Structure 1
Amino acid sequence: MPEKVTLQGKVIGHISGDVFTTRRKRAVHFMRAYNGYAIQEDVFGRLLRQGIRIIRVVETDTGTVLETTSETFDQHGIRFDLGHGRQVALDEHYWDIRPPGQLTLL
């Protein structure tokens, strides 16, 4: 059973093996100023300490799946604080993007 990841009492994603998956509505959570998605810095630190290798965002409103490595997120992420705590954002350019309906090879 996947492990829940919480922030301030709310479930923000799940861990299964070395993959962190979060489901987000692009229209609400996509950071246009950084052209990507962000994770709270303390949550990202916890994920690294737990050995997470893959970060996956499933867009609930588009069906698109974005994936990147935690290493890429750490190396290329932009750290910022817009008043909601320190976060790390990764430009969409660094994500592998799988359009809705595209199958993955196992």
Structure 2
Amino acid sequence: MIDHIVLVKFADTTTEEQLQEVIEQFKALKGNLDGIVDLQAGLNFSEKGQGYQLVLTVRFENKAALEAYGPNPDHQAVAAKIREIGRMDSIVVDIEI
């Protein structure tokens, strides 16, 4: 299995409502994409998060499912929304478990 973890930092102008919209849009991917074992999204409440506000995680069956996820139009729509509402930086890590 593969865990795909994304942390996103947004501009000061990004609202809580916009972040919640992204979370809901991201969670909707679970039923629409093959190879997803689990999917989580939420706001970071830790003060150790270095300003990264949004945490997105996806557990895939295998690397092929992860590779298919990147270019998927539904995933790309979420990525576009993240950029649209003020993405400043992100960190992405993938681990095999």
Please confirm whether the aligned pair reaches a TM-score higher than 0.5, indicating the same fold.
Answer: no
Give the structure-1-normalised TM-score.
0.33
Name the structure where strand makes up a greater proportion of residues.
1
Looking at both structures, which has the greater relative contact order when contacts are Cα pairs under 8 Å and sequence separation is at least 6?
Answer: 2
Going by fraction, where is helix more abundant, 1 or 2? 2
